[in-house]
């Protein structure tokens, strides 16, 4: 993916250019120069966010890029790895939210997204769900099936792991960018339908 075009003298000193790339470990980056006017940075899409961050850290006030630097969640085409659940992008998160029919699971996902990047203990998630343990497990299993139907694999937009939130119980954590996508999708314009189904305008 081409991230964008920057002045050829960005950064101002050629010797500082390697420092930009060195902040992105194990990533192959190609920099192509167009005469003396532009430098085009080409990188695998999955590492785009890291290069944006590195450029932002290296940038001097007097050398602003042509394209604005944005947060990971605002960059089109970005995928974010959810530990134990693979890569997620904005479209996947919205697709799940549009089809999620279990209000208790939505409340749990809203809670975990709001707490991101901190982990949420299972006890807090259960209290937020407002249902019995067995019922929550069944609804989470239903979300797993939905994700398999949508994406061809069992995957959640959050990680569930024992001890993640301290102690021996299971905890839940969602990457910050995924959390932003989820809250954007889950709370776009008022409360959910009474049956917990898709909101008006969403895909059934």
Listed by start position, the domains of the chain span: 2-69, 80-186
- Provide the β-strand partners of residue 81: 87
DSSP state of 154: -
As averages over each run of 10 residues, the pLDDT of the chain (204 residues) reads 42 40 44 55 62 54 41 67 95 96 97 97 96 97 97 95 84 96 82 42 34
Instruction: Specify the pLDDT at position 133.
Output: 96
Distance CA 171, CA 164 (A): 5
Distance CA 131, CA 182 (A): 22
3 state SS of 25: coil
pTM: 0.59
Instruction: Specify the pLDDT at position 167.
Output: 75
Instruction: Specify the pLDDT at position 51.
Output: 60
Instruction: Specify the pLDDT at position 78.
Output: 84
The CATH architecture annotation of domain 80-186 reads: Orthogonal Bundle (1.10)
CB 164 within 8 Å of CB 170? yes
Q: How many CA atoms lie within 13 A of 23 on its CB side?
A: 15
Instruction: State residue 21 phi and psi, 5-degree precision.
Output: -70, -30
Judge if the upstream peptide bond of residue 117 is cis by omega within 30 degrees of 0: yes
**Neighbouring residues of 133: CB distance < 8 A, sequence distance ≥ 6:** 126
Instruction: State residue 145 phi and psi, 5-degree precision.
Output: -65, -40
Instruction: Specify the pLDDT at position 171.
Output: 95
Q: How many CA atoms lie within 13 A of 194 on its CB side?
A: 0
Distance CA 181, CA 155 (A): 16
* Dihedral angle computed from the Cα positions of residues 146, 192, 115 and 144, in that order, rounded to the nearest 10 degrees: -10
Tokens at 131, concatenated: 């249902």
């Amino acid at each position: 993916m081409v991230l964008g075009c920057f002045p050829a003298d960005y950064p101002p000193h050629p010797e500082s250019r390697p420092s930009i790339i060195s902040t992105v470990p194990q990533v192959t980056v190609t920099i192509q120069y167009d005469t003396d006017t532009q430098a085009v940075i080409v990188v695998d899409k999955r590492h785009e966010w890291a290069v944006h961050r590195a450029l932002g850290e290296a940038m001097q006030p007097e050398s602003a890029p042509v394209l604005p630097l944005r947060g990971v969640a605002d960059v089109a085409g970005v995928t974010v790895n959810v530990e134990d659940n693979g890569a997620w992008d904005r479209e996947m998160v919205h697709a799940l939210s549009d089809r999620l029919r279990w209000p208790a699971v939505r409340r749990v996902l809203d809670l975990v997204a709001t707490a991101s990047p901190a982990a949420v203990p299972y006890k807090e998630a259960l209290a937020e769900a407002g249902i019995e343990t067995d019922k929550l497990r069944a609804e989470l299993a239903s979300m797993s099936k939905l994700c398999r139907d949508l994406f061809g694999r069992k995957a959640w937009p959050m990680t569930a792991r024992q001890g993640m939130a301290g102690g021996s119980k299971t905890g839940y954590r969602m990457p910050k960018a995924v959390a932003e996508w989820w809250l954007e999708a889950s709370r776009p314009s008022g409360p959910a339908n009474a049956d917990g189904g898709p909101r008006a305008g969403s895909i059934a």
